[in-house]
Every structure is written in C-alpha cells, then in structure tokens.
Homo-oligomer: A and B are copies of this chain.
Amino acid sequence: MRPPIGALCWAIPEGFIPRSSTGKARTPRSHETARILNAADRDAHVEIMVLFIDRDPVGPYRVTVPAGRSRHVRLDDLDDPRPIPRDTDFATLITSDVPIVVQHTRLDSRREALVLPSTIPHAGAG
C-alpha cells in the first residue's frame, strides 16, 4: 500500500558535535540528528559508519527502524562501539537492508540564536 521510496545508502559529509552549549535541558542542547523514515513493510536494519579527516572510520553503529515507522537518531547518543568524539569534524555513511529516507538536522546552541539547518543527504543507488 505504501510506495517503495528511499535508498539503501546515504552520505552526510558534515558532522560536528560541539562540547559546549548554552542550553541546559536536553532538547536545546547542541546535537545532530539523523531522522530515518522506513516506509517499507519490513524492518530496516541500519548501520552508521563515521569517517574522519585524519583517522580510521569508526563503526558500525546499529539501529533498527521498524516497518512504517520513523526514528530520530541523535548522533551524540551513540556509544557502541564508542561515543563520537566532540569538537571533531566527521562525516556519516548510513546503509540499510531496506530502502530508507534520511534527513539530517544540526542544532547548535553555542550562540543565542539557534541555527538549525536541515538537509536531505546524498542518496546512493536505490
């Protein structure tokens, strides 16, 4: 009933989790989120690899997005195999065994005015 939409691989070249933040509560803290939509009728097993400028990639981090569900993965919550280092530029590669759609949101509360760019990443073959 739901149309097949999405891709099996997504790339987000921009990534940065600052250490400091003006917000006190969880919500306005600086963070990056990968919002993953699974419109298919079976669960998506998703793997996230983190690439850096001057060291080997880290991962995969594994998350499952149930069929017909959306999941918002905060990258600063990932800790297995290890937390993503703060104050360090990184890039993200997201692969799945079922077509998914990914949106990338970055919120930076280091200055008073929130900056919340929202981007549809680059999608690889379907």
Contacts and interface: CB of A to CB of B under 8 A. Distances in A.
A83 interface: no
A84 interface: no
A75 interface: no
A42 B8 CA distance: 22
Interface in A86-111: 89-91, 93, 95, 101-103, 105-106, 108, 111
Interface residues of A, number: 55
Contact of A118 (B5, B35, B119): B119
Contacts of A37: 11-13, 51, 91, 93
Given A37-B13, A115-B115, A3 B95 contact: yes
Contacts of A51: 37, 39, 68-70
Interface of A: 2-14, 35-37, 39, 49, 51-54, 56-57, 68-72, 89-91, 93, 95, 101-103, 105-106, 108, 111-125
